[in-house]
Amino acid sequence: MLICQISDLHIKTPGKLSYRVVDTSGLLKRCVDHIRALKQQPDIVIVTGDLTDFGRPDEYAHLRELLAPLARPVYLIPGNHDHRENMVAAFPDHRYLTQNMPFIQYAIEDLPVRILAIDTVIPEESGGELCEARLGWLARKLAEAPARPTIIIMHHPPFKTFIGHMDDIGLANAEGLKAIVERHPQVERVLCGHLHRPIQVRWAGTLASTAPSPAHQVALDLSADAPSEFVMEPPGYQLHQWHPDTGLVSHTAFIGKFDGPYPFYDGEGLID
Ligand SMILES: [Fe+2]
Ligand SMILES: [Fe+2]
Protein backbone atom coordinates (compact mmCIF):
# COMPACT_ATOMS: atom_id res chain seq x y z
CA MET A 1 0.00 0.00 0.00
CA LEU A 2 1.27 3.43 -0.94
CA ILE A 3 0.46 6.37 1.34
CA CYS A 4 1.04 9.89 0.04
CA GLN A 5 1.58 12.52 2.74
CA ILE A 6 1.14 16.15 1.84
CA SER A 7 1.39 18.80 4.53
CA ASP A 8 1.11 22.51 5.17
CA LEU A 9 -0.81 23.62 2.12
CA HIS A 10 -1.81 27.02 3.59
CA ILE A 11 -4.57 27.57 1.02
CA LYS A 12 -6.07 31.04 0.75
CA THR A 13 -9.02 32.44 -1.17
CA PRO A 14 -8.43 32.46 -4.94
CA GLY A 15 -6.02 35.22 -5.97
CA LYS A 16 -4.49 35.79 -2.52
CA LEU A 17 -0.85 35.02 -1.72
CA SER A 18 0.43 33.66 1.60
CA TYR A 19 2.52 36.30 3.38
CA ARG A 20 1.92 38.35 0.18
CA VAL A 21 4.54 36.14 -1.53
CA VAL A 22 3.53 32.49 -1.91
CA ASP A 23 0.98 31.28 -4.45
CA THR A 24 0.00 28.33 -2.26
CA SER A 25 -2.98 27.40 -4.46
CA GLY A 26 -0.90 27.31 -7.64
CA LEU A 27 1.73 25.26 -5.81
CA LEU A 28 -0.84 22.77 -4.50
CA LYS A 29 -2.16 22.40 -8.03
CA ARG A 30 1.37 21.54 -9.19
CA CYS A 31 1.66 19.07 -6.32
CA VAL A 32 -1.62 17.36 -7.23
CA ASP A 33 -0.53 17.17 -10.88
CA HIS A 34 2.78 15.66 -9.75
CA ILE A 35 1.00 13.02 -7.66
CA ARG A 36 -1.34 12.19 -10.53
CA ALA A 37 1.68 11.64 -12.80
CA LEU A 38 3.44 9.22 -10.41
CA LYS A 39 4.19 5.81 -11.91
CA GLN A 40 2.74 4.21 -8.80
CA GLN A 41 -0.49 5.80 -7.68
CA PRO A 42 -1.03 6.22 -3.93
CA ASP A 43 -3.89 4.29 -2.37
CA ILE A 44 -4.65 7.12 0.03
CA VAL A 45 -3.51 10.69 0.65
CA ILE A 46 -3.06 12.02 4.19
CA VAL A 47 -2.85 15.77 4.74
CA THR A 48 -1.07 16.58 8.00
CA GLY A 49 -2.46 20.01 8.86
CA ASP A 50 -2.25 23.68 8.01
CA LEU A 51 -4.70 22.93 5.22
CA THR A 52 -5.61 26.61 4.98
CA ASP A 53 -3.84 29.80 5.99
CA PHE A 54 -6.53 31.37 8.21
CA GLY A 55 -9.16 28.63 8.65
CA ARG A 56 -11.84 30.59 6.77
CA PRO A 57 -14.82 28.92 5.07
CA ASP A 58 -13.89 30.28 1.63
CA GLU A 59 -10.36 28.90 2.04
CA TYR A 60 -11.75 25.42 2.78
CA ALA A 61 -14.06 25.70 -0.24
CA HIS A 62 -11.03 26.50 -2.37
CA LEU A 63 -9.05 23.62 -0.83
CA ARG A 64 -11.87 21.21 -1.65
CA GLU A 65 -11.70 22.18 -5.32
CA LEU A 66 -7.92 21.86 -5.40
CA LEU A 67 -7.91 18.37 -3.82
CA ALA A 68 -10.74 16.99 -5.97
CA PRO A 69 -8.52 15.89 -8.90
CA LEU A 70 -6.69 13.44 -6.59
CA ALA A 71 -9.76 11.22 -6.98
CA ARG A 72 -8.80 8.89 -4.12
CA PRO A 73 -9.47 8.71 -0.39
CA VAL A 74 -8.07 11.80 1.36
CA TYR A 75 -7.72 12.03 5.15
CA LEU A 76 -7.37 15.48 6.71
CA ILE A 77 -6.10 16.60 10.10
CA PRO A 78 -6.01 20.19 11.38
CA GLY A 79 -2.93 22.31 12.06
CA ASN A 80 -2.50 25.57 13.94
CA HIS A 81 -3.68 27.55 10.89
CA ASP A 82 -6.95 25.60 10.74
CA HIS A 83 -10.36 26.04 12.31
CA ARG A 84 -12.02 22.78 13.35
CA GLU A 85 -15.66 23.76 12.81
CA ASN A 86 -15.06 25.42 9.43
CA MET A 87 -12.99 22.44 8.32
CA VAL A 88 -15.67 19.90 9.28
CA ALA A 89 -18.38 22.06 7.66
CA ALA A 90 -16.50 22.15 4.35
CA PHE A 91 -16.03 18.37 4.20
CA PRO A 92 -19.37 16.85 5.32
CA ASP A 93 -18.68 13.74 3.26
CA HIS A 94 -15.45 13.11 5.23
CA ARG A 95 -17.39 11.38 7.99
CA TYR A 96 -14.29 10.18 9.84
CA LEU A 97 -13.62 13.83 10.87
CA THR A 98 -16.34 13.79 13.52
CA GLN A 99 -15.51 10.47 15.23
CA ASN A 100 -14.43 12.30 18.42
CA MET A 101 -15.60 15.89 18.38
CA PRO A 102 -14.73 18.47 19.67
CA PHE A 103 -11.36 17.11 18.54
CA ILE A 104 -10.55 15.86 15.06
CA GLN A 105 -9.15 12.52 16.16
CA TYR A 106 -10.00 9.34 14.30
CA ALA A 107 -8.99 5.80 13.49
CA ILE A 108 -8.79 4.41 9.95
CA GLU A 109 -9.42 0.72 10.40
CA ASP A 110 -9.99 -0.65 6.91
CA LEU A 111 -6.42 -0.48 5.53
CA PRO A 112 -3.54 -2.98 5.77
CA VAL A 113 -1.89 -0.63 8.27
CA ARG A 114 -3.92 1.07 10.98
CA ILE A 115 -3.86 4.88 11.08
CA LEU A 116 -4.63 6.88 14.22
CA ALA A 117 -4.99 10.64 13.75
CA ILE A 118 -4.57 12.94 16.72
CA ASP A 119 -5.42 16.61 17.04
CA THR A 120 -2.73 18.92 18.48
CA VAL A 121 -4.56 22.21 17.89
CA ILE A 122 -5.06 24.95 20.48
CA PRO A 123 -7.55 27.36 18.84
CA GLU A 124 -6.00 30.75 18.00
CA GLU A 125 -2.51 29.64 19.00
CA SER A 126 0.53 28.60 16.95
CA GLY A 127 1.84 25.99 19.37
CA GLY A 128 0.07 22.68 19.94
CA GLU A 129 -0.86 20.48 22.87
CA LEU A 130 -2.21 17.08 23.76
CA CYS A 131 -4.54 17.25 26.75
CA GLU A 132 -5.59 14.28 28.88
CA ALA A 133 -8.74 13.72 26.80
CA ARG A 134 -6.79 13.43 23.55
CA LEU A 135 -4.03 11.30 25.07
CA GLY A 136 -6.61 9.08 26.76
CA TRP A 137 -8.29 8.38 23.43
CA LEU A 138 -4.97 7.45 21.84
CA ALA A 139 -4.00 5.20 24.74
CA ARG A 140 -7.35 3.37 24.52
CA LYS A 141 -7.08 2.96 20.74
CA LEU A 142 -3.53 1.60 20.93
CA ALA A 143 -4.44 -0.79 23.76
CA GLU A 144 -7.33 -2.08 21.65
CA ALA A 145 -5.10 -3.55 18.91
CA PRO A 146 -1.53 -4.14 20.17
CA ALA A 147 -0.74 -6.54 17.33
CA ARG A 148 -1.82 -4.27 14.45
CA PRO A 149 0.91 -2.18 12.85
CA THR A 150 -0.09 1.42 13.40
CA ILE A 151 0.86 4.84 12.06
CA ILE A 152 0.11 7.93 14.14
CA ILE A 153 -0.49 11.16 12.22
CA MET A 154 -0.43 14.59 13.86
CA HIS A 155 0.46 18.19 12.99
CA HIS A 156 2.93 19.45 15.63
CA PRO A 157 5.91 17.07 15.89
CA PRO A 158 6.60 15.77 19.41
CA PHE A 159 10.36 16.32 19.12
CA LYS A 160 12.85 19.19 19.19
CA THR A 161 14.02 20.26 15.73
CA PHE A 162 16.67 22.83 16.81
CA ILE A 163 15.01 25.43 14.55
CA GLY A 164 14.41 27.77 17.49
CA HIS A 165 11.35 29.71 16.34
CA MET A 166 9.59 26.46 15.38
CA ASP A 167 10.46 24.75 18.65
CA ASP A 168 8.97 27.80 20.39
CA ILE A 169 5.63 26.90 18.75
CA GLY A 170 6.05 23.15 19.21
CA LEU A 171 3.99 20.59 21.09
CA ALA A 172 3.18 20.95 24.78
CA ASN A 173 2.99 17.67 26.70
CA ALA A 174 5.06 15.72 24.19
CA GLU A 175 6.22 13.72 27.25
CA GLY A 176 2.67 12.47 27.79
CA LEU A 177 2.56 11.19 24.22
CA LYS A 178 6.03 9.67 24.52
CA ALA A 179 5.01 7.66 27.59
CA ILE A 180 2.07 6.15 25.66
CA VAL A 181 3.92 5.44 22.42
CA GLU A 182 6.82 3.82 24.30
CA ARG A 183 4.43 1.21 25.66
CA HIS A 184 3.20 0.30 22.16
CA PRO A 185 5.79 -1.25 19.86
CA GLN A 186 3.12 -1.63 17.15
CA VAL A 187 3.64 2.08 16.36
CA GLU A 188 5.56 1.95 13.12
CA ARG A 189 5.87 5.70 12.66
CA VAL A 190 4.69 9.08 13.83
CA LEU A 191 4.08 11.27 10.76
CA CYS A 192 3.88 15.01 11.36
CA GLY A 193 3.72 18.35 9.56
CA HIS A 194 4.20 21.93 10.80
CA LEU A 195 7.95 22.13 10.05
CA HIS A 196 7.80 22.60 6.26
CA ARG A 197 10.94 20.44 6.02
CA PRO A 198 11.65 16.68 5.97
CA ILE A 199 13.12 15.78 9.38
CA GLN A 200 13.56 12.33 10.98
CA VAL A 201 14.38 11.27 14.51
CA ARG A 202 14.31 8.10 16.61
CA TRP A 203 11.68 8.85 19.21
CA ALA A 204 9.81 6.83 21.86
CA GLY A 205 11.04 3.55 20.40
CA THR A 206 9.78 4.35 16.93
CA LEU A 207 10.57 6.83 14.14
CA ALA A 208 9.05 10.27 13.98
CA SER A 209 9.24 12.52 10.94
CA THR A 210 7.96 15.72 9.39
CA ALA A 211 7.18 16.47 5.75
CA PRO A 212 8.22 19.22 3.34
CA SER A 213 5.50 21.57 2.12
CA PRO A 214 4.27 21.71 -1.49
CA ALA A 215 4.56 25.51 -1.02
CA HIS A 216 7.15 27.33 1.12
CA GLN A 217 9.82 25.74 3.36
CA VAL A 218 11.03 26.91 6.77
CA ALA A 219 14.57 28.30 6.45
CA LEU A 220 17.29 25.85 7.52
CA ASP A 221 18.82 27.56 10.57
CA LEU A 222 19.43 25.30 13.56
CA SER A 223 19.85 28.03 16.13
CA ALA A 224 17.80 29.01 19.15
CA ASP A 225 17.46 32.57 17.84
CA ALA A 226 16.80 31.67 14.18
CA PRO A 227 14.57 34.35 12.65
CA SER A 228 11.07 33.21 11.72
CA GLU A 229 11.59 33.02 7.95
CA PHE A 230 10.67 30.86 4.98
CA VAL A 231 12.44 30.11 1.69
CA MET A 232 11.25 28.94 -1.70
CA GLU A 233 13.37 25.78 -1.75
CA PRO A 234 12.11 22.92 -3.95
CA PRO A 235 8.65 21.96 -2.73
CA GLY A 236 7.81 18.35 -1.96
CA TYR A 237 5.81 15.66 -0.23
CA GLN A 238 6.34 12.21 1.28
CA LEU A 239 5.54 8.80 -0.17
CA HIS A 240 5.34 5.99 2.37
CA GLN A 241 5.27 2.45 0.98
CA TRP A 242 3.78 -0.01 3.44
CA HIS A 243 4.44 -3.75 3.28
CA PRO A 244 4.07 -6.18 6.19
CA ASP A 245 7.58 -7.59 5.49
CA THR A 246 9.35 -4.23 5.57
CA GLY A 247 7.18 -1.88 7.59
CA LEU A 248 7.02 1.66 6.28
CA VAL A 249 9.63 2.77 3.72
CA SER A 250 9.54 6.53 3.21
CA HIS A 251 10.61 8.62 0.24
CA THR A 252 10.64 12.37 -0.30
CA ALA A 253 9.35 13.50 -3.70
CA PHE A 254 10.39 16.88 -5.09
CA ILE A 255 7.94 18.81 -7.21
CA GLY A 256 9.32 20.57 -10.27
CA LYS A 257 10.73 20.15 -13.73
CA PHE A 258 14.16 18.55 -13.47
CA ASP A 259 16.63 17.37 -16.09
CA GLY A 260 16.63 13.66 -16.93
CA PRO A 261 16.12 10.81 -16.46
CA TYR A 262 19.43 9.73 -18.00
CA PRO A 263 20.53 6.07 -18.24
CA PHE A 264 23.38 4.74 -16.05
CA TYR A 265 24.17 2.00 -18.63
CA ASP A 266 24.42 1.65 -22.36
CA GLY A 267 25.11 -1.46 -24.48
CA GLU A 268 28.74 -1.50 -23.25
CA GLY A 269 27.93 -1.40 -19.53
CA LEU A 270 28.28 1.45 -17.05
CA ILE A 271 28.69 4.63 -19.09
CA ASP A 272 32.32 5.88 -18.95
FE1 LIG B 1 2.47 25.21 8.18
FE1 LIG C 1 1.76 24.51 11.60
Q: Tell me the three state secondary structure of residue 26.
A: helix
Indicate yes or no: pTM above 0.85: yes
Ligand nearest the Cα of residue 157 is 2
* Interval between CA 270 and ligand 1 midpoint (Å): 43
Ligand number with the minimum distance to the CA of 218: 1
Please tell me the distance between residue 194's alpha carbon and the centre of ligand 2 in angstroms.
4
What ligand is nearest to the CA atom of residue 125? 2
Q: Tell me the CA–centroid distance for residue 8 and ligand 1, in Å.
A: 4
Cα–ligand 2 centroid distance for 199 (angstroms): 15
Task: Give 44 Cα–ligand 1 centroid separation in angstroms.
Answer: 21
For every one of its 272 residues, what pLDDT tens digit does the chain have, with 9 covering 90 and above? 999 999 999 999 999 999 999 999 999 999 999 999 999 999 999 999 999 999 999 999 999 999 999 999 999 999 999 999 999 999 999 999 999 999 999 999 999 999 999 999 999 999 999 999 999 999 999 999 999 999 999 999 999 999 999 999 999 999 999 999 999 999 999 999 999 999 999 999 999 999 999 999 999 999 999 999 999 999 999 999 999 999 999 999 999 999 999 999 999 999 99
Please report the pLDDT score of residue 7 as a whole number.
98
pLDDT computed for residue 178 by the predictor: 98
Count Cβ neighbours within 10 Å for each residue of 181-191 and write b for 16 or more, e otherwise: beebebbbbbb
d(CA 117, CA 217): 24
Q: How far is the CA of 245 from the centre of ligand 2 (A)?
A: 33
- Whole-number Å distance, alpha carbon 239 to ligand 2 midpoint, is 20
Ligand nearest to the CA of 9: 1
Minimum-distance ligand to the CA of 192?
A: 2
SS (H, E, C) 195-245: CCCCEEEEECCEEEEECCCCCCEECCCCCCCCCCCEECCCCEEEEEEEECC
H-helix or E-strand spanning residue 27: helix 24-36
Compute, in angstroms, the gap from residue 10 CA to the centroid of ligand 1: 7
Compute, in angstroms, the gap from residue 33 CA to the centroid of ligand 1: 21
